[in-house]
Every structure is written in structure tokens, then in C-alpha cells.
């Protein structure tokens, strides 16, 4: 099943399929390791849903919801 990173539930895992952002946001996500093929684990979500914390490539990363919506994921069972 495919969905964007902002739709993930806490504890859900997936693999990055694509990053649809443009310009500086895409560059920033790539620099932080959010690249196709990377495994992601949803750790936490702030009370109002923004920001979210994920585990990626062995470290914790906090993303804004506006950034997470640009990351298309394949959910792992």
C-alpha cells in the first residue's frame, strides 16, 4: 500500500518511494537522507500533528507536516 509520510500512524514502517517536493525543500530532504529506498519508522507525532519524528538511517529526524506530505512511502507489513 502506498501513502504519504504524514499519513503514517505511530509505530508504522515503510520505504521511501519518491520525493515530490521541488527546489530547496527537495534538496533539504535529500541532504537529511530522505531518499528513495530508505527505510522509515514513525516514532512520534506532536499533539496537533505537526511536527513528526521518524527514525531514518539509524538516527531520529523531525519533519514538518508540509515536508512529510511530499514523501511517498510504501508501507511495510
Q: Where in the chain are the domains?
A: 2-76
* Contact present, 71 and 34 (Cβ < 8 Å): yes
Confidence class for position 49, pLDDT limits 50, 70, 90: confident
CATH topology of domain 2-76: SH3 type barrels. (2.30.30)
The residue-averaged pLDDT of 39-56 equals 93
pTM: 0.85
In this predicted structure, the answer to whether residue 18 has a pLDDT above a threshold of 80 is yes
Calpha distance 21→43 (Å, rounded): 23
Amino acid at each position: 500500500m502506498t501513502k504519504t509520510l504524514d499519513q503514517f500512524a505511530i509505530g508504522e514502517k515503510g520505504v521511501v518511494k519518491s520525493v515530490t517536493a521541488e527546489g530547496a525543500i527537495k534538496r533539504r530532504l535529500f541532504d537529511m537522507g530522505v531518499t528513495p529506498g530508505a527505510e522509515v519508522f514513525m516514532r512520534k507525532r506532536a499533539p496537533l500533528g505537526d511536527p513528526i519524528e521518524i527514525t531514518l538511517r539509524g538516527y531520529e529526524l523531525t519533519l514538518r507536516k508540509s515536508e512529510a506530505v511530499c514523501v511517498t512511502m510504501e508501507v511495510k507489513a
